[in-house]
Structure 1
């Protein structure tokens, strides 16, 4: 018995010794911005034990014997990495890594969702038609990520675009922005063209990020604006389950609800989904501008193997409200007081309405044919549908019988309109990657087709002008020398639609059948584009070069749907060249030259007897140089760019007495400027996005010498902004965060030579609190209650910014 007890005691001692000698490997996996990475596969060799990191990016291997081990980390979208260690008895070894984003894994960025989180984005697909590091693109590409959009509670494009250098609003209208001094309307979704006929701003709940390709982008995307092109990148499915819902309320009786669900449909993760749904019902600081908006955006990715990826996107966007034409003020003379009417002031009637539907669907296919050759194809169908009734200004003031303007009476017209238009995009290209000696090549050869139709059946029912003497007809304009033709009452010509009294506004219901209306079919139109392009990206050591050439064929169908319809053809050969030099790993120097192209209208170039000509298309070109840096171990991106853009072949009326429609091709406009942008994290808990732009856009050539030197409208010389978010790290303040920022712009001119908009600085702030899976935030915008204008046309159409207002949000992720 004693021997048995001694044996058991010795055995227990040995076992306890072994247990005490067992060792542990644990650690945290983050990206190069300091964000924890979930679902990273961690493999331990020998033993082939595997675990996945949790939501904090943490993992643990326990019960290990002493010896040598290799810890291998892998996850889609990041470079695989390994660490080798020697583990001692009873040791707990911390093995943590920062994983770098793998550009080569992001060739399918348009199919698989972005894993990066934060204010910094590392890659672009649209700027080169291949997944490229932003530092390797010899052109400025700016962006706003979904994290910035969420932190600022932005809901539409104009809420977020202020975070991009060199971009300013022209009006409230959809996509009506000024990019590097030039008014722009080129808009793309995932690199494909969508209709810009709509009025309401694009909604953001389905948006991964907004990108702005600075300068002409015609070498890849056909006819584009000289200042730049805005591209919306939609959220794509992820191969891990993520779900989020949020509710927002605040000033102007705002109610907003959003959801974002994504994940795999099956265990093999060959079928992924994402669903974004959002609804908002809100009033405005503007009179009669309440409305509601809804977006439903499902996305599905099918990945049957490692060579094939198929994606389907649908975006349904509905806006209901009224068309806001801006704020009118008293009088149209120099020195008129901008504050003569409040910024809430608008023109319209209670029964006005505007219903807009934007619908677009995309199918994209990516196939890896061989190890070095892949094929990409995308097709987008978009539709815009408008149902509108508005009482709006005729862009002039009321007059007495002598033709003298009355500064408090606004001339009016009514518009009842039903219209649709359709736009088809096909984009396809082959990519070949190969080496010749020390030079690596990425060759792209592609074809694009764009087709936009404004179909038969679009119609208007309009009233305007002045009543004839018998009160049964109308004349569009009033001529005092022919006053006998007009109905004159109280020494004033009687307008068909009553004047709007700025001093005593009347917003009551007004039945348009009381006026003399003219029903008219809108002219059907059609244009289509065929483009063939080739692009080569070369790399040799520290040097890279991008060479591109596009042959563009633009056809506008004159007298579309009529028996005598004919094609008006234009074409252009568009080059692009850029060089990147990387003297150090975190620094890239670049220079580029690129051209832009915009055709003249078919009506103008097809009727030389009326308009003159022939006329060349609008041609622009840009020279740009800059530096792109990744600082603080890649957490912070800093970009600096200097540029010069010229636009030639501008058309204007020749003012010929015998030919009132005669046009002449004159002049040149030039934009020069410098931009600075920073994105990312200064500290692991301090995120930052900031931008500054100095720009001068002038008329540099004109037959009218008085125009030379004029600044283009709504283009401030200086503008910029900053937004920072700080998350407290201590136990007492854990979960608490603050955000703060400001935007500014200097004085701008308008379309009127005698009207300027003052500069402004607008400050914003936010408070965040996160506990478990809940996040509560409070945002205060225009904290100092600054009165300012984001843009303007003339005295009758100015576009003020919102006064001080607040938003509160409750979000839940699961």
Structure 2
């Protein structure tokens, strides 16, 4: 009997112990409320470890009752610990890590949504944006996708103080022009350029960011307004694939693909492949774009201390070059915004490639080495008919306002750039003071090699068969023809080499170029050039309590070779020391105040200096920035609101002299000054409500000029609006019968702008309203975007009233995407 009782007691005891075994479960998300897969969850002082599934869910089973400390770790996120009771369920939010192994971006951004936490553009190290003592604005891929953005012109409206100058890859930042044809743009923090004539597609970009003000102390010569950085998509550790197809107004068709994930079980080799194809027409007469983008990326992570990355982007483009709209006299509304001056046999065929390799090695917990190289190549094959920047004239040289004088170009050229960068970072402590030291060297060269050539047909035909600028005093030397005006008058006009474009008849036709008198143009397209930059720099990011100090110093050597590899080659060398001093003070955990002083330097373009028709040589461009502001975070760091106040001064800018008989003549302005205020708000208000908002006030004027150019003093700089802003917001219904249904709405406004220095030609301000509808079911999303809902007539920029760049009328596009 006693034995039976003992057996029963033991069974009861085991039953009680078994009953006391409990579970701990939960879900891990990022700050955008997106589930995080394959997060390592470990019980401290226990051998149990698990990974979250694709929904971010984790579970520990059969745990004895009691308290446990859980540790959550994932690459790209801050490690997090939480003490919990057994038998409980938890929702965990991981914050992005402000300290990552790589100092150049090697693995993909883990965040999703409109907010980005870290950047490398402000210090060349992984630094939280709120700790960078300079204004940095950005647009993430999620914003681009929601707005249906295709090109940079669609993206930049989301960046405070940035607006289009033309249809080209051509922008102003804080009133200072920057264009893709120069080597002062950045890709993944490395200097590069685009083809300038056509804005590239943005489907392969993780984000677009701009550091405001002179960035020369970091990257060498750059625009004083700021530097645009295109950050390409990098591989992710989890497998993910997506396909999307778009159709819309103006026979717009696109197909995009994005594949990423590991290539081996150990996840030491990761890949990403972005593909894009576009076949689209335009609201502009005769314009079209056919683009193919191939953008692979591979990350090799052999050890925790060494990471290697390879990126490439190839873009093949077939199109026509759009030089803008011309109007009759000073009447902006005298011609439709669809009007272009192209001939039906014009073409622009371009190929661009960038290849980048980078290495990061962590010697120990303090010392790291970074090496990167970027190669860019570009080629173009062009035939175009465009304006000669003026109207046709009669025999007395009086303009005929409905006839635009034209010229024709045949151009074949290639251009290359190389950028290499190597630097060390070292973390040190002196008492309570923390230091992040950096020392580095970079080298950049840009080449327009011999063999690039351009032929130009322009001016008026002489009776001898040659062509020459028209001289009314020698009118008898020129051929003539009869022209009938729209009101029936018959005029005798000097005969142009290339037929003038009649704005009233819109004579876009096939032109016989064999009849033109061509001459080799003495301009930048035919002068081989070589320019290089050697830079040595040091930087210290100092932290003491709530105070952070950034000290930077750079020494640059610039070298230009005009008439490169010819008997008349000329070499010009210049040197410059550039300081950068910034302060950040944390008033509260979510409010930082900052200030900065930095200088910029930019030698004049080598091709312009070498062009005998430009009027040079010219002195280099020098600039400086004083800026201060606030950087704040709200709603559990999901929303940022930043305010900046700045002043930029620049000396030595070149402008077109607007001399009819010398179209390539340039003038150099003594000083320009931009003063302004910028506000940027980005992120989430709730987990289903995203917003991006910006406003900029910018007073950019010419303050000094020599005695010959006093007329320009006090004028607002071309294409530099005083006021501009943008709002875009998206809300997704999280539950109920309408779960997955979303709406996006917003708009942007731009103040009136001068299109030339004399301020007599102005384009009006405008406000554009856009909207979108979204519906997601499982892995499929349907998206419908509406742009310019009120069908507003407006212009994004221009050079003058013969070269205006209108915005698109009301349009739509529909997208279906599948993620698997």
Instruction: Place the TM-score, normalised by the shorter chain, in its bin.
Output: over 0.9
* Mapped contact 2:34–2:112 kept (Cα < 8 A): yes
Does the 8 Å CA contact 2:531/2:606 hold for their aligned counterparts?
no
Quote the offset at 1:566 in angstroms. Answer: 3.5
In 2, Cα distance between equivalents of 1:501 and 1:317: 35
C-alpha deviations, 1:413-458, integer Å up to 9, x for none?
1111111011111111111110111111111111111111111111
Matched, 1:772 2:778: yes
* CA gap 1:478/1:33 in 2 versus in 1, 3 angstroms: same
The alpha-carbon distance between structure 1 residues 592 and 3, as it changes in their structure 2 partners (threshold 3 A), is same
Distance 1:222 1:394 in 2: 35
Q: Which residue of 2 aligns with 1:434?
A: 428
> Any conservation in 2 of the 1:198–1:356 contact (CA below 8 Å)?
no
Instruction: Report the CA distance between 1:48 and its aligned residue.
Output: 2.6
What is the CA deviation profile of residues 244-269 of structure 1, one whole-angstrom value per residue up to 9, with x for unaligned ones?
Answer: 11111111111111111111111111
Residues 46-57 of structure 1 aligned to structure 2 (within 5 Å): 47-57=46-56
Alpha carbons 1:33, 1:634 under 8 Å: kept: no
The C-alpha deviation readout for 1:304-346, integer Å capped at 9, x for no partner, is: 1111111111100111110011111112xxxx22111111111
Partner of 1:571: 575
Q: Does 1:146 align with 2:141?
A: yes
Name the CA distance, whole Å, in 1 between partners of 2:133 and 2:571. 37
Shift of 1:16: 7.0
Q: CA deviation at 1:534?
A: 0.9
Cα separation, partners in 2 of 1:35 and 1:108, compared to 1, 3 Å: farther
2:293 is matched with which residue? 295
Distance 1:606 1:519 in 2: 16
Alignment of 1:159-238 (within 5 A): 159-174=154-169, 176-185=170-179, 186-238=184-236
Supply the distance in 2 between the matched residues of 1:737 and 1:11 (Cα, whole angstroms).
Answer: 60
Residue 396 (structure 2) pairs with residue 389 (structure 1): no
Distance 1:525 1:164, change over 3 A: same
Whether 1:356 and 2:354 are equivalent positions in the alignment is no
Q: Which residue of 2 aligns with 1:637?
A: 640
Change (3 A) 1:807 1:640: same
> Hey, what's the Cα distance between the residues in 1 that align with 2:612 and 2:234?
49
Using a 3 Å threshold, how does the CA distance of structure 1 residues 4 and 326 change in structure 2: closer, same or farther?
farther
Q: 1:515 to 1:558 in 2, by over 3 A?
A: closer
| TM-aligned CA deviation for residue 756 of structure 1 | 1.0
What is the alpha-carbon distance in structure 1 between the residues aligned to residue 692 and residue 277 of structure 2?
28
2:242 aligned with 1:260, yes or no?
no
- Report the counterpart of residue 478 of structure 1 in structure 2: 470
Give 1:632-671 correspondences, 5 Å limit: 632-650=635-653, 666-671=669-674
Whether the 8 Å CA contact 1:774–1:810 is kept in 2: the answer is: yes
Q: How far off its partner does 1:488 sit?
A: 2.2
- Which deviates more from structure 2 when the two are superposed, residues 739-748 or residues 44-53? 44-53
- One of 101, 104, 108 as aligned partner of 2:99: 104
Residues in 2 aligned to 1:723 and 1:102: alpha-carbon distance in whole angstroms: 27
CA distance in 2, matches of 1:758, 1:774: 42
Report the CA distance shift for 1:734/1:664 in structure 2 as closer, same or farther (over 3 A).
Answer: closer
Task: Show the counterpart of 2:801.
Answer: 795
> Aligned partners of 2:84 and 2:517: how far apart in 1?
88
> Which residue of 2 is the match for residue 546 of structure 1?
550
Change (3 A) 1:3 1:24: same
Q: 1:722 aligns with which of 715, 722, 727?
A: 727
- 1:459 alignment partner, one of 449, 453, 456: 453
Which residue is equivalent to 1:500?
Answer: 501
Counterpart of 1:403?
397
Distance 2:494 2:608 in 1: 35
The 1:39–1:488 alpha-carbon spacing in structure 2 relative to 1, beyond 3 Å, is same
Residue segments in structure 1 that go unaligned for 5+ positions in a row: none
Task: Say if 1:233 and 1:547 are closer, same or farther in 2 by CA, change over 3 A.
Answer: same
Q: Can you list the C-alpha shifts for 1:468-489, whole angstroms capped at 9, x where unaligned?
A: 024x1111x2121111221123
Deviation for aligned residue 1:240 = 1.3
**Larger deviation: 699-708 or 394-403?**
699-708
Q: How many pairs align?
A: 799
Q: What secondary structure is seen at the aligned counterpart in 2 of 1:388?
A: strand
SS at match of 2:441: strand
- Measured on the aligned residues, the alpha-carbon RMSD in Å equals 2.6
Q: Closer, same or farther in 2 for the Cα pair 1:465/1:440, shift >3 Å?
A: same
Distance 1:16 1:152, change over 3 A: farther
Find the aligned partners of 1:367 and 1:17 in 2 and give their Cα distance: 54
Partner of 2:463: 469
Alpha-carbon spacing, 1:4–1:741, altered in 2? closer, same or farther (3 Å): farther
SS in 2 for 1:77: coil
CA distance in structure 2 between the aligned counterparts of 1:282 and 1:351, rounded to whole angstroms: 18
* Alpha carbons of structure 1 residues 690 and 196: separation in structure 2 relative to 1, 3 Å: same
Q: Secondary structure at the match of 1:642?
A: strand
Structure 2 runs not aligned, ≥5 long:
483-491
Alignment check: 8 A CA contact 2:563 2:610 kept: no
Q: How many angstroms does 1:683 deviate by?
A: 1.1
Question: Retained in 2: the 8 A contact 1:580–1:590?
Answer: yes
Q: 2: distance between equivalents of 1:779 and 1:539?
A: 46
**Cα displacement (A) at 1:139:** 0.2
Written as runs of structure 1 = structure 2, the 5 A alignment for 1:243-392 is 243-331=241-329, 336-392=330-386
CA distance in 2, matches of 1:83, 1:680: 26
- Give the distance between the partners of 1:566 and 1:745, measured in 2 at CA: 44
> Which is worse superposed, 78-87 or 417-426?
78-87
Shift of 1:12: 8.9
* Matching of residue 77 in structure 1 with residue 76 in structure 2: yes
Query: Distance in 1 between the 2:612 and 2:336 partners?
Result: 47
Q: Using a 3 Å threshold, how does the CA distance of structure 1 residues 29 and 284 change in structure 2: closer, same or farther?
A: same
Task: Quote the offset at 1:85 in angstroms.
Answer: 2.6
Determine the C-alpha separation between the residues in 1 that align with 2:73 and 2:810: 47
Q: What's the offset of the Cα at 1:665?
A: 5.6
**Deviations for 1:695-738, whole angstroms, at most 9, x for unmatched residues?**
11001112333322100011111101011111112222211111
TM-score by length of 1: 0.94
Cα deviation, residue 662, structure 1: 10
Measured against aligned partners, the alpha-carbon deviations of 1:383-434 in whole angstroms (never above 9, x if no partner) come to: 0010111111111111111111111111111111111011111111111110
Which position in structure 2 is the counterpart of 1:732? 737
Q: Which residue of 2 aligns with 1:594?
A: 598
Q: TM-score, normalised by structure 2?
A: 0.93
- 1:115: which partner in 2? 110
CA contact (8 A) 1:34 1:635 kept: no
What residue in structure 1 maps to residue 485 of structure 2? Answer: none
**Contact 1:568–1:606 (CA<8 Å) still a contact in 2?**
no
- Provide closer, same or farther for how the CA distance between residues 798 and 4 of structure 1 changes in structure 2, counting only shifts above 3 A: farther
- Whole-Å separation in 1 of the counterparts to 2:607 and 2:238: 53
Q: Of residues 686, 690, 694 in structure 1, which corresponds to 2:693? A: 690
Q: CA deviation at 1:681?
A: 0.5
Tell me the equivalent position of 2:481. 489
Deviates more, 1:729-738 or 1:110-119: 729-738
